[in-house]
Amino acid sequence: MSDKGRDDGLASPELRRMIKLAGSQQKLPRVRVTADQIFEAYQERRERRRQRWLHGGLAAAACLSLIYLGVSVERALYVRPAAATLAQAEAVPATPSEVVEEAAPLGPRLAAGAAIELLEPHGIPAEVIGPHAIRLSNGTYRIDVEDEGALTVLTPEGELGVETGRFTVAVASSITDVIVESGVAYWVRDGEREPVTPPQRPAKPEASAPELLADAAPARPSAAELAELAEASLRRGQRPAAIRHLRSLVTTYPRSSEAGRGLLDLGRLERAEGDLDASRCAYQLYLDRYPSGSLTADVERALDRLGPGPRCRGLRPR
């Protein structure tokens, strides 16, 4: 190949550029990366990933909260009509039969033909033991027995039987008074019946002519008559009239045999009327007149139940 041919080949611009580049002594720059830089880059990438997870978790929690709130609102809207219906149902008054069933007391009841009523506002209600048995404490009671029935009445004084009628029983401590308005009443003592009879008015002897003239003027009732008048007033439910008769009895005839029982009845009736001071004075007068009587301990217990009060002058507090 001639020299001219070689010169023509080298004359090509592209070939010359390649030759020049190959013969160049220029060196490429050296890249330096340390271990600390690699660890810092790893930490930065890990932090970016943790931030993405945190943001994703917060977004998921917010979505769940919105879902729960929506369910709660829907449930509240659904339950509210039921609650309103329940409130309306409770506001509806019960029928009489339902009221009777709910108010039915527990425990024994009296038979259908027997009834008892407490006549004193401060008395103790009777205790029903069974269909044909009751127990009485302090107070005045009215007992009705119908349809040929019988009732056993337990009192502090003993066992009392009543049959087919109406009876008034007054109990003061260990003393029991029985008024038979109709029917039959009897005490059961040692297995035997002892009939309860009303007090008999003493028979008056035949009066002479002068005595008849003297009787033409209004006569003062005797102690026995005043006691009977008090019992008759009590049978009619006229307690104030009974108290007046008893006061007249114990003040007019203080030494009569009826005066002691009259004071006890007076104390019981005054207490039933709510006059505790007058009741206390009647009991205290009984103790003053009969300090060694057989009922002194019972009267003292009755005074203790009444509690302290003003001092008495006769039947009236000072």
- Do 137 and 171 form a contact (C-beta atoms < 8 A)? yes
Predicted pLDDT of residue 153: 92
Give the pLDDT confidence of 89-131 residue by residue, as tens digits: 444 454 444 444 444 456 788 888 888 888 766 678 989 998 8
Domains of the chain: 114-195 (no CATH), 222-317 (1.25.40.10)
pLDDT surpassing 90 at residue 246: yes
Q: What is the amino acid identity at position 216?
A: A
pLDDT surpassing 80 at residue 274: yes
Predicted pLDDT of residue 138: 78
- Choose the weakest-confidence range: 10-19, 37-46, 201-210, 235-244: 201-210
List all residues 6 or more positions away from 243 whose beta carbon is below 8 Å from its beta carbon: 230, 266, 269, 270, 273
Q: Calculate mean pLDDT across residues 265-271.
A: 91
Spatial separation of the C-alpha atoms in residues 226 and 247, rounded to whole Å: 9
Instruction: Tell me which of 40 and 186 has the higher pLDDT.
Output: 186
pLDDT surpassing 80 at residue 19: no
List all residues 6 or more positions away from 247 whose beta carbon is below 8 Å from its beta carbon: 266, 315
pLDDT surpassing 50 at residue 79: no
Distances (CA, A) of 95 to 92, 98, 99, 103, 214: 9, 5, 6, 12, 70
At residue 30 the predicted structure's pLDDT band, cuts being 50, 70 and 90, is low
At residue 263 the predicted structure's pLDDT band, cuts being 50, 70 and 90, is very high
Pairing of strands 133-135, 127-130: antiparallel
Q: Distance between the two ends of the chain, CA-based, in angstroms?
A: 170
Percent of the chain scoring above 90 in pLDDT: 15
Q: Calculate mean pLDDT across residues 153-173.
A: 86
Predicted pLDDT of residue 164: 86
At residue 139 the predicted structure's pLDDT band, cuts being 50, 70 and 90, is confident
- Please give the biggest Cα pair distance in the chain: 209
Burial of 302 (0-12, 13-18, 19+ CB in 10 A): buried
- How far is residue 87 CA from its own chain's centroid? 25
Predicted pLDDT of residue 74: 57
Predicted pLDDT of residue 204: 47
pLDDT surpassing 60 at residue 85: no
pLDDT surpassing 60 at residue 134: yes
HEC states along the chain?
CCHHHHHHHHCCHHHHHHHHHHCCCCCCCCCCCCHHHHHHHHHHHHHHHHHHHHHHHHHHHHHHHHHHHHHHHHHHHHHHHHHHHHHHHHHCCCCHHHHHHHCCCCCCCCCCCEEEEECCCCCCCCEEEECCEEECCCEEEEEEEEEEEEEEEEECCEEEEEEEEEEEEEEECCEEEEEEEEEEEEEEECCEEEECCCCCCCCCCCCCHHHHHHHCCCCCCCHHHHHHHHHHHHHCCCHHHHHHHHHHHHHHCCCCHHHHHHHHHHHHHHHHCCCHHHHHHHHHHHHHHCCCCCCHHHHHHHHHHHCCCCCEECCEEC
Predicted pLDDT of residue 269: 93
